[in-house]
Amino acid sequence: MPHTSQPNSSFYSLGIAPKILETLDRNKFVIPTPIQHKAIPVCIEGNDIIGVAQTGTGKTLAFAIPIIQRLAQRKGKALILVPTRELAIQVDETFQKLTPVFGMKTAVLIGGASMHNQIQALRGNPRVLVATPGRLVDHMEQRTVMLADVNMLVLDEADRMLDMGFLPQIEKVLRAIPKDRQTMLFSATIPGDIVRIATAHMKLPIHIEVAPSGTMPERITQELFIVKKENKGKLLGRILKQYSGSVLLFSRTKRGAAKITRALRANGWRAAEIHSDKSLPQRREALDGFKSGKYRILVATDIAARGIDVVGIELVINYDLPEDAENYVHRIGRTGRAGHEGHAISIATPDQAFEVRSIEKLIKTALPVAEHPEFPKEAFHAITEQRSGPKYGHSDHNRPYRSSRPGGSSRQHFGKSSSHPSGHSRKYF
pLDDT digits (tens, 9 = 90+) for 240-249: 998 888 999 9
pLDDT digits (tens, 9 = 90+) for 101-152: 898 999 999 998 899 999 999 999 999 999 999 999 999 999 999 999 999 9
Q: Does domain 220-400 have CATH number 3.40.50.720?
A: no
Reduced to 3 states (helix: H, G, I; strand: E, B; else coil), residue 58 is coil
- In this predicted structure, which of 56-65, 218-227, 379-388 has the lowest mean pLDDT? 379-388
Q: What is the mean pLDDT of residues 35-47?
A: 94
Q: How far apart are CA 27 and CA 45, in angstroms?
A: 24
pLDDT, residue 429, reads 17
Convert the pLDDT of each residue in 341-380 to its tens digit.
789 999 999 999 999 999 998 888 899 999 888 887 888 8
pLDDT band at 404 (very low <50, low <70, confident <90, very high): very low
Residue 338 has pLDDT above 70, yes or no: no
**Better-scored residue on pLDDT, 326 or 166:** 166
Mind listing the pLDDT tens digit for each residue in 181-199?
Answer: 999 999 887 778 888 888 8
Confidence of residue 10 (pLDDT cuts 50, 70, 90): confident
What pLDDT was estimated at residue 237?
A: 93
* Percentage above 90 pLDDT, the chain: 51
Q: Which residues contact 230 (CB under 8 A, 6 or more apart)?
A: none
Task: Please report which confidence band the pLDDT of residue 386 belongs to, taking 50, 70 and 90 as the band edges.
Answer: very low
Asked if pLDDT for residue 420 goes beyond 60, the answer is no
Interatomic CA distance for residues 66 and 46, integer angstroms: 8
Across the chain, mean pLDDT equals: 82
What average pLDDT score do residues 153-178 get?
92
- 308 pLDDT higher than 80: no
With b for 16 or more beta-carbon neighbours within 10 A and e for fewer, the 242-274 pattern comes to bbeebbbbbbbebebbbebbebbbbbbbbbbbb
Interval 14-23 mean pLDDT: 92
pLDDT at 4: 33
Distance of alpha carbon 332 from alpha carbon 217, whole angstroms: 8
Judged against a pLDDT cut of 90, whether residue 100 lies above it is answered with: no
Average pLDDT over residues 418-428: 30
Mean pLDDT computed over 293-313: 82
Domain 11-209 CATH class label: alpha beta
Residue ranges per structural domain of the chain: 11-209, 220-400
In this prediction, residue 339 carries a pLDDT of 59
Is residue 312 scored above 90 in pLDDT? no
User: What DSSP designation does 27 have?
Assistant: T
Domains 11-209 and 220-400 belong to one CATH topology: yes
Quote the pLDDT of residue 112: 85
pLDDT at 189: 77
Cα distances (angstroms) measured from residue 265 to each of 246, 396, 412, 420: 15, 36, 12, 10
Who wins on pLDDT, 315 or 5? 315
Q: Is the pLDDT of residue 296 over 90?
A: yes
**CA Rg value for the chain:** 23
Residue 401 reports pLDDT greater than 80: no
Q: Judge if pTM exceeds 0.85.
A: no
What does the pLDDT read at residue 133?
95
Q: What do you get for the CA distance between the two ends of the chain, in Å?
A: 48
* Greater pLDDT, 17 or 422: 17
